[in-house]
Structure 1
Amino acid sequence: MPNPVIVITGASRGIGLAVTRSLLKEHNAHVVTISRTRTPELSQLIQEHEQSLLTLECDITDEPAVKTISTSIFSRSLPAIRASLPDLRESKGRIIFISSGAATGNIYGWGAYNASKAAMNSLSRTLASEEPSIVSLALAPGRVDTAMQAVLRDAGAQHMKATDHKNFVDAYNEGTLVNPYDVGYVIAALSLRAPLSLTGQFVKWDNEECREFRRK
């Protein structure tokens, strides 16, 4: 059986980069990434995995560009490529949405972010209902030690309640932020092996449902 190909959007940094790294280094997968930029970290992975990593630069809100990207993926003829719902149905594929606790939260000043993550969860549930052969799962990665957390600490005070901002600062100072490579491993494993029993669910990365997908 050929190794699977996983398409990762936003793969140049943060959790997306961690997932890409885990798929390549720990799960022996062929990977296609889509991101707006190519960071030094992603460039390093390209050098290390020339035969198993295809990187494409694109803004996924640009529909014509996305169509061109799809053509490019197929023209490379990498094994196990699934670039559309018909192929996902045939392969009984998996879609892992990176959600957030904000989907059910109410942090002051976060209206747009909270609403967008709630909408993502709704999309995941609806897709699970409409596509019963595809695993559709929304996952909350927790407070991950990424650039987003740094922005919240540095600039969040003027937009958030003091108590909420303090919680983010304290999480960093106390060393309780999630290692992106730990949660990246779980997401990578779920993208390869998540069972149909999880479809439509919203789970936290360190909950019991994800125990078997953590790094041993």
Structure 2
Amino acid sequence: MTDTAFDTVIVLTGASRGLGAALARDLAAPRTKIIALLRKPDPALEADVAAKGGVLQQVAVDLADLDDTAVQADILFPAMPAGAKRYWLINNAGTVAPISTIAGLGDPAALRTAFDINVNAVILLSAAFLRAMTGRQAQGRLLNISSGAGRNAKAGWGVYCATKAALDMFTRTVNTERDTHGVTAVALAPGVVDTDMQGAIRASDPAHFPAVAQFQGMKDKGQLASPANVAASIHAYLQRDDFGQTEIDDIRNY
């Protein structure tokens, strides 16, 4: 396809599995190009997107490596196809590790990785997206997948709560500069989704995460949302005319 063949261009992180993979599949459509940033390309995902008439470009990148992330961002965003009506960046990748009480946090590498994936990579990618959107006559939307953990403290999640709270405030700050780049940003909590991250949470040591039984019970009672259903709800949310009216939001409100 030529650049002018696309109405919608989407950059999506964390598309290897879980909610990210479900989003890629749900967003796929004719005249839509999805640029997926993921650790390892997935031929099945590419086939599923193509089957729905979309185009998937997979870019292997480790978001915990900020130098590589910055290099990829400076290549990818300026090269986004011109002439589309909509450009969306969805920062979905994230990590819940390290799960530990505050007193147990002593590994600098684990802290760096959490903040690099959940916050710093988001900032780098968003900055490159905003630079690329400046002057484009098109809709620009930035969706940061946040968490209720950034708005409600939970024992054992000191790092996760802190990174998601930072993500929420970063999103608000993007909107204070909207006049310079024309992009509207939202930090959206997806609810409790049945992903590998939830599996890691359920396997936590109760001594480090006292609420582990609550999450185990949610799984046992079938209370976790499916990635496919949440992805469909997020897709609909991205298309709302009032996108951005609520900067810090939760998909469970819709």
Q: Percent of aligned pairs with the same residue?
A: 29
Question: Aligned AA for 2:7?
Answer: N
2:192 matches 1:188 = no
Q: Which residue of 1 aligns with 2:130?
A: 85
Q: Which residue of 1 aligns with 2:222?
A: 175
Map Cα deviations across residues 150-184 of structure 1 (whole Å, 9 max, x no partner).
111123424111xx111101110110101111111
2:198 matches 1:149 = yes
Alignment length, in residue pairs?
201
Q: Which residue of 2 aligns with 1:43?
A: 43
Q: Which residue of 1 aligns with 2:20?
A: 16
Q: TM-score, normalised by structure 2?
A: 0.69
Contact 2:38 2:59 in 1 (8 A): yes
Q: Which has the higher contact order (CA 8 A, sep 6+)?
A: 1
Contact 2:77 2:129 in 1 (8 A): no
Question: Aligned AA for 2:171?
Answer: S
Contact 1:135 1:195 in 2 (8 A): no
Shift of 1:64: 4.3
Contact 2:9 2:34 in 1 (8 A): yes
Shift of 1:79: 6.2
Q: TM-score, normalised by structure 1?
A: 0.80
Contact 1:96 1:139 in 2 (8 A): yes
Structure 1 residue corresponding to 2:11, chosen from 7, 24, 33? 7
Q: Secondary structure of 1:84's match?
A: helix
RMSD: 2.6
Q: Which residue of 1 aligns with 2:149?
A: 102
Cα distance, 1:54–1:125 mapped onto 2, change above 3 Å = same
Map Cα deviations across residues 119-176 of structure 1 (whole Å, 9 max, x no partner).
0000001101111432100111111000111111123424111xx1111011101101
Cα distance, 1:106–1:64 mapped onto 2, change above 3 Å = closer
Q: Which residue of 1 aligns with 2:164?
A: 117
Deviating runs (4+, > 6 A) in structure 1? none
Contact 2:11 2:36 in 1 (8 A): yes
Which runs of no fewer than 5 residues in structure 1 stay unpaired? Answer: 212-216
Q: Which residue of 2 aligns with 1:136?
A: 185
Q: Secondary structure of 2:11's match?
A: strand
Question: Aligned AA for 1:2?
Answer: F
How far apart, CA to CA, are the structure 2 residues paired with 1:128 and 1:119?
A: 15
Name whichever structure is richer in helix by fraction: 1
Q: Which residue of 2 aligns with 1:202?
A: 248
